[in-house]
Amino acid sequence: MNRSEALGLAIREARTRLNLSQEKLAEAAKLHRNVVGLIERNVASPTVASLFAIADALGMRLSDLVARAEELAVSSAS
């Protein structure tokens, strides 16, 4: 899994842990409802502003979200 795919998975993990739908996360992050799904599926690349908004809506620091994505990418390469 590449890092972009891992980032989408890290977002999905955090979102589902909070029992949030993609629509509710998008609403909290002030993004269009389809954007979260596109990012999670690695169809669209998020802007830095979108990533900060998503991390804020998930109640996490962006650095923690990226660190989790790195962990996922490394573990899938092993």
Residues 15-65 have pLDDT tens digits of: 999 999 999 999 999 999 899 999 999 999 999 999 999 999 999 999 999
For residue 47, the tally of other CB atoms under 10 A from its CB is 11
Contacts of residue 36, Cβ cutoff 8 Å, sequence gap at least 6: 11, 15, 22, 23, 25, 26, 29, 54
Using alpha carbons only, give the angle 42, 49, 24 rounded to the nearest 5 degrees: 65
What local confidence, expressed as pLDDT, does residue 20 receive?
Answer: 97
Which domains, ranges and CATH numbers included, belong to the chain? Answer: 3-77 (1.10.260.40)
8 A C-beta contact, residue 58 and residue 25: yes
Cα gap 34→36, rounded to integer Å: 6
